[in-house]
Amino acid sequence: MSLTLLLSCGGYHSVEAPLWDPNVEVAGDSLYVMLPQARALMRLADTGKTDFVDLDGATPDRLVPVPGGERLLVYSSWVTCQDPEVELQRDCLEDDLGIDYELGVLGAEGIEHRIDAPGHLDGLALSDDGRFAVMYLGGDLNASTVDRVADLDSVFLVDLTSGASTSITVGFAPRNILFLPGNENALVLSRSTAVLVDLVEGDVDVRYELTLDQDEGVDPSVAVLTPDGHYALVAISGEDLLYKIDLQDPSIDIEELDGEPTALAVDEGCDCTVVAYRYENQLDLLFHESFERETLEVEDRTEALVEHDGIVLAFDRDSAGHDVYAIDLASGELTEYVIANRLSTAWIDDSGRFGVGLMIPESTSAGSDAVEAYADARYGLAVLELSDDEVRNLVLEGVPTEVGLLAGDTTTHAMVLLDQDDEALLIDLSNPHPPAVIELVAPPARLGTLNDGRFWISHEAALGALTVIDPLAPGDQVVLEDFGAVGVFPDDTLVRRNP
């Protein structure tokens, strides 16, 4: 979420920021809600109990869940005034106003660490054990967040356990961060450079130049690590090749491919990487032991991959092809699913039983029958039963804005939010039609899951509204309302602290 704080220098208060932000996040058993107008972060239980997180006067700008489900990162900021005599924001000359930023590590007991992090680093990568964060410039540069100088060649490392942080130079426009097994090292890819970083020491171990001529920069596009962390496989934008970077005995080899790779999916079980291509009607399995490729011919090209626990879904977002392929990496078996419309995105549920794809409208081809024309004109949901190779095409009478999956022991449910619709669709993927229609208190905004296996839905409601739904008992909803109607007239006193 971009920073929307508006400064008021007049002698009156006004509601200039939204009361609440529907980009809710979950940590532990609580929901956390940002209140921009109140410049506060609220913790909200499904019982309706609320309290505030002490941000020491800062305003929460963005929440990011930390792997493990128990902590959040809180991007926050506050207004400063260069004149030390000024106490109220409205008394500060405009030229003296500024903004400071920090990153807070929020646990069950509140903010555990406050880190003086550069405000413009909007990109974030987190190790899967939740110990380390790597902040970088993600490309959505908002000049107002830059404090005089933006360093385009560095990343900012944060030890989320100790709160220690450091900035290190890695290369121009770093953006692809891969954490090695053990999470004590990370490979940071930037233009023409790859850098192996020691996250514990906070310094660079190895620097790899990806070109001999820096005037001819190469841009890493997609990258994965082999499961043992021995190699990084890095595709280069516009090139039919894959850099194989040896992270243990630093060296580089280049594998030539049959086309430009657009997606890579790595699997520990087969110890292989699936390679998808922009223009080739094939998928390759690249086995890490020998780095030999096995090619799987496919009828439609497949430039996108989704992987979960030994199953890979391959599909194409750009062409008119209606094929989705599932690869069982344990057996190497390729299954073709023919769906109604092309996909824009896809997921595999945590149980591995189902694949779900969001189908988007497409122009109707000549000779299409009425059913095809009906489907072509609408969004839809494709439900792939990965165990018995069946596909169900569900046409949606509305524009889906959010899709969430929750897998239980025996069932998997999809929740679908439709734009400006007071109803949500709850779909039992093993029996997808008809879906359960959930009446909502207001049009939905965002969708997420709680750690206890329930969905939450935030709504477009000025004073705040959240619904918590158990997919196994959708009638027993918890609705939390009007929690945003606090702190409408916030204190204008400047925050005077030096983090």
Partner 1 sequence: MRVFVTFPALCAFVACSDNNLYTAGADYAETGYASEEGDWADADTDADTDSDSDTDSLPSEEENSFFAMAPAPAPTYVFVANPDRDTVTRIGVPALDVLTAPVGEGPEQVQTTPDYLYAVTYNADSDDLSILPADTLDEERVSVRKNLDTLEMSPDGSWAVVYNAVGVEDESSGGATSTKEASFVHVTSGAHTAMALGFQPRDVAFTESSAILLGDAWLGVVDLESDPLSIELISIGDEVDPPETEELVLDPEGRYALLRQKSASNLVLVDLVDFEASNLEVGAGPTDLDLTPDGTQAVAVARGDGQLWLYDLDDPGGAPEIIGMPEGEVLGSIAFSADGGPALLFSTATGVSRFTSWDPETGEFGLHPLPKPVSAVGVDPTGGTALILHDQADSEDIDPTYEGMYGITLVELSSFRANDYALPAEPVSFTHSDDGQRGYFIMDGKPYLEVLDYGALLIDEVRLKSDPVFVGTLPETNWAYVSQEHDLGRISFYDPDDGSLKTITGFELNSGIEVEE
Residue among 56, 228, 253, 390 that touches partner 1 (CB under 8 A): 253
Q: Identify the residue among 204, 360, 395, 479 touching partner 1 (CB under 8 A).
A: 204
Q: List the one residue from 97, 252, 391, 442 that touches partner 1 (CB under 8 A).
A: 252
Smaller CB separation from partner 1, 128 or 253: 253
Q: Which one of 248-256, 323-331, 418-426, 469-477 is the stretch in contact with partner 1 (CB under 8 A)? A: 248-256
The C-alpha atoms of residue 420 and residue 399 are separated, in whole angstroms, by: 9
Binding part of the chain for partner 1, among 26-34, 60-68, 247-255, 362-370 by CB under 8 A, reads 247-255
* Residue 212 binds partner 1, judged by CB under 8 A: yes
Q: How far apart are CA 119 and CA 107, in angstroms?
A: 21
For partner 1, give the closer residue by CB, 171 or 484: 171
What is the total count of residues that contact partner 1 (CB under 8 A)? 21
Give the range of 39-47, 92-100, 253-261, 450-458 binding partner 1 by CB under 8 A.
253-261
Q: Is residue 211 within the footprint of partner 1 (CB under 8 A)?
A: yes
Residue 239 as a binder of partner 1 (CB under 8 A): the answer is no
* From 57-65, 109-117, 204-212, 261-269, span contacting partner 1 (CB under 8 A): 204-212
Q: CA–CA distance from 310 to each of 269, 270, 329, 427 (Å)?
A: 6, 8, 5, 25
Residue 251 makes contact with partner 1 by CB under 8 A: yes
Residue pair 10/25 in contact (Cβ under 8 Å)? The answer is no
By CB under 8 A, which span of 7-15, 206-214, 220-228, 346-354 interacts with partner 1?
206-214
Which lies closer to partner 1 via its Cβ, residue 65 or residue 217?
Answer: 217
Binding status of residue 205 toward partner 1 by CB under 8 A: yes
Among positions 46, 255, 385, 492, the unique one binding partner 1 when judged by CB under 8 A: 255
Output 195 or 466, the one with its CB closest to partner 1: 195
Closer residue to partner 1 (CB): 194 or 427? 194
Show the site string, 370-389: x = touches partner 1 by CB under 8 A, - = not: --------------------
User: Which CB, 243 or 325, lies closer to partner 1?
Assistant: 243
CB of 332 to partner 1, least distance (A): 22
Give the other-Cβ count within 10 Å of 238's Cβ: 10
Beta carbon nearer to partner 1, 145 or 193: 193
Stretch in the footprint of partner 1 (CB under 8 A) among 63-71, 200-208, 257-265, 267-275: 200-208
Nearer to partner 1, 52 or 291 (CB): 291
Of the residues 75, 208, 455, 483, which one makes contact with partner 1 according to CB under 8 A: 208
Q: Which is nearer to partner 1, 87 or 205 (CB)?
A: 205
Residue 256 is a binding residue for partner 1 (CB under 8 A):
yes
Helix H, strand E, coil C: the string for the chain is CCCCCCCCCCCCCCCCCCCCEEEEEEECCEEEEEECCCCEEEEECCCCCEEEECCCCCEEEEEEEECCCCEEEEEEEEEEECCCCCCEHHHCCHHHEEEEEEEEEEECCEEEEEECCCCCCCEEEECCCCCEEEEECCCCCCHHHCCCCCCCCEEEEEECCCCCEEEEECCCCCCEEEECCCCCEEEEEECCEEEEEECCCCEEEEEEECCCCCCCCCCEEEEEECCCCCEEEEEECCCCEEEEEECCCCEEEEEECCCCEEEEEEECCCCEEEEEECCCCEEEEEECCCCEEEEEECCCCCCEEEEECCEEEEECCCCCCCEEEEEECCCCEEEEEECCCCEEEEEECCCCCEEEEEECCCCCCCCCCHHHHHHHCCCEEEEEECCCCEEEEEECCCCEEEEEEEECCCCEEEEEEECCCCEEEEEECCCCCCCEEEECCCCEEEEEECCCCCEEEEECCCCCEEEEEECCEEEEEEEEECCCCCCCCCCCECCCCCC
Q: Is 4 in the site for partner 1 (CB under 8 A)?
A: no
Member of 67, 238, 250, 434 binding partner 1 (CB under 8 A)? 250
Q: Does 333 bind partner 1 (CB under 8 A)?
A: no
* CB 250, min distance to partner 1, A: 5
Binding site for partner 1 (CB under 8 A): 203-212, 241, 243, 246, 249-256
